Copies of this chain bind each other. A is one copy, B any other.
Amino acid sequence: MVKMIEVAKLARVSPSTVSRVLSNSPYVSEETRQRVLEAVKLLEYKPNRLASNLRKMSSKTVVVVLPDITNPFFSKILQGLEDVARENGYHVLLGDTGNSLKLEKDFIDLVRERFVDGLILATARIRKEEILAISQEMPVVLACEYVEGYDIPTVSIDNISAARQATEHLINLGHQRIGFITGPLGVILSRDRLKGYRQALLLHEIPIEEALIQEGDFSVKSGYDIMMKFLAVNPPPTAVFASNDEMAVGAMKAIKHKGMRVPDDVAVIGFDDIPLCTLVEPELTTIAQPKYEIGIQAMEMLLKIIKGEMLVKRQIVLAHQLVVRESCGYNLYRQGGEVETNIHT
């Protein structure tokens, strides 16, 4: 491996000067710069990042902690995060926890070990107090996740309003018995979506039936299983709201397996707006989260913190959007013409 000193010798300068040229310092004469650049080229010199990291006390790397990289929701957020990181000369270390608390802690420790300069948490199983403590001593931004009552930098949507809107969409279509498939209730955004569902029913004076609220785990299978339970209730719900799209698709499967039709017999609405929504039949109506944008903004926020800039806003709430497709029978809607429609292609 070629070292800087060898380049320096060939260019008849000191290593300091080589370093200056490579870091684009203005304090180098054009002539010297050229000589150094030639030597660099000739020797195919690549600076040793390990050394420069130590000296600068920064690896220009950020760890992104998420529960499952194969989940299209998170991979899209990750893409936004990575794009901004790259544009700013940062790298992303993958922190796939598989929902393991231990792994989550291990990845967080990478910041303490100065292996990475900052931390994005797109999942957070650890206790609130710990998150708060960490966020006070090192650069951290929560993406999607958030912590109530604390002032931790966060980028997310308003899950309560979004879930309320989804539920009201069904109510406006005339549904009174609406099943709700929650996400894991240990996760705050699952609890928020449940809140929104409850608010919508209350607002429209529809009684809440506990039998129509069941906890899923965000998997297709759990959506399927819970829908099967709903269909065994007498009478079954005429509509179902699932806390994410995978569970909604699972619910649709269950309805079809029972020989019923979506949306005619049961309307279905999901949450997130992943690509799958337009690939199933009927296409899934859902609440779109600006996944890529969440990633963008979360990384921009983190880089600001790393650079020591002050944050104007520490909590960013991005807009969600009801995307009306086919799974709730949107034809009815067209007549009212009251709700925004946005059929993605």
Asked if A311 is at the interface (CB within 8 A of a chain B CB), the reply is no
Judging by beta carbons under 8 Å apart, are A114 and B69 in contact? no
Residue A51 at the chain B interface, CB threshold 8 Å: yes
Report whether A49 and B93 are in contact in the complex, using a CB–CB cutoff of 8 Å: no
Q: From the candidates B57, B94, B275, B280, name the one contacting A93 in the complex (CB within 8 A).
A: B94
Select from chain B the residue with minimum beta-carbon distance to A345.
B221
- With known contacts A50-B114, A54-B54, A78–B69 Cβ distance under 8 A: yes
8 Å CB interface, A211-267 against B: 220, 249, 253, 256
Against B, the Cβ 8 Å flags (1 = close, 0 = not) of A57-85 are: 10101001000011010011011001000
Residue in contact with A279 in the complex, picked from B46, B91, B94, B276, CB distance below 8 Å: B276
**A72 touching B70 in the complex, CB below 8 Å, given contacts A1-B114, A93-B93, A280-B279:** yes
Which B residues touch A51, using CB under 8 A?
54
**Cα–Cα distance between A96 and B91 once the two chains are bound (Å):** 11
Can you list 19 A-B contacts (CB < 8 A)? A46-B113, A47-B113, A48-B114, A50-B50, A50-B53, A50-B54, A51-B54, A64-B94, A69-B78, A69-B82, A70-B79, A78-B94, A79-B96, A82-B94, A82-B96, A93-B93, A276-B279, A279-B279, A280-B281
Given A82-B96, A93-B94, 4 more A-B residue pairs with CB atoms under 8 Å apart are A50-B50, A75-B75, A94-B94, A280-B281
